[in-house]
Structure 1
């Protein structure tokens, strides 16, 4: 019986999806006559919930951020060729899977999370996926991490979280679990 839990963020940790997300949001926003610059996206949007950054781009309320996000999710699959896999971390996951439950906690949508895992044939590695769709409060709130620990009945002291973004690291620390910061791969 497994008594430990390893939780992984998706974007920036398991996969470099910056270009995938940028292109998907860029094209979704263009449909509504908004522009998105790459540098701005990287600095002010990537790793955050769309509910936090889209209102800063769409200031006139002529279109719903939810409509733009829905279109972004539809465009995501067509841009997956731009994603890069963190092979080193997946090698570690292979070593952990015998003794640890493996979970993903992400601010990404469930749809986009499943798409990238299937694209890279990694879906079957994980015992649980908690996405933006499964929580009321996204990172930096630790709700997703706590929910994963409760699902497996694993204490924070028996949990390690792999994260890359400042909001994700903050949420991981608030959960009481150990934290590994992924900087580059």
Structure 2
């Protein structure tokens, strides 16, 4: 086994829910805040902290910190209300978590989601015990593509960054892992392979966790690109 730790992004990586996040933001930005953005424009802003998204769209001085916090929580409430009936792990991930735990591989979640949202997922799916550390947007000063999320997760596990494999679905997350010195396995729930061409730390691409390449992570000392 080449990796001592698996670091998982959450949304779009462990659960296929990014469309629900986009829908919630589309509602907040256009219906509540009259931003006048298209679906694709909203989708293009779907990375980093909620507050960072609001700053990208409206500028740094449009909302107070308290207003941004209120909007952030409201967005997550709308997302959770829409998604709760569909909440489930991406196929095969339940087996990956069990096999990694049985193999003694440490695991962490490193997400730009707020704690409120991470708790919604891990507790409703009853998977918290698999993770030795969880790093949320509330735990870092700078979100992805800054490497702080993944560096902090590795530190909490006591594992060298080069011994960590990151599971990600977004180019900004892959960039964060690259800057942290970590390899990445990309799951293509939201983005196509071509969008990751600039990142040399990508070892492969999967559509879900039932693909054979995932099994090789437990048996191959040096995984190669799929």
TM bin, normalised by shorter chain, reads: 0.7 to 0.9
Higher relative contact order (CA 8 A, sep 6+): 1
Q: Which residue of 1 aligns with 2:163?
A: 158
TM-score when normalising by structure 1: 0.84
**Once the two structures are superposed, what CA deviation does each residue of 1:106-135 show, in whole Å capped at 9, x if it has no partner?**
001111011022233323322211000000
2-side partners of 1:18 and 1:71: how far apart? 17
Q: Which residue of 2 aligns with 1:138?
A: 143
CA contact (8 A) 2:8 2:167 kept: yes
Q: Which residue of 2 aligns with 1:88?
A: 92
Give the secondary structure class of the aligned counterpart of 2:126.
Answer: coil
Aligned residues: 182
Report the Cα offset of residue 6 of structure 1: 0.8
2:109 to 101, 104, 113: 104
Gaps of 5+ in 1: none
Correspondence 1:72 to 2:75:
yes
Q: Which residue of 1 aligns with 2:172?
A: 167
CA contact (8 A) 1:76 1:112 kept: no
Report the Cα offset of residue 145 of structure 1: 1.0
Q: Which residue of 2 aligns with 1:120?
A: 125
CA RMSD for the aligned pairs?
A: 2.4
2-side partners of 1:26 and 1:33: how far apart? 10
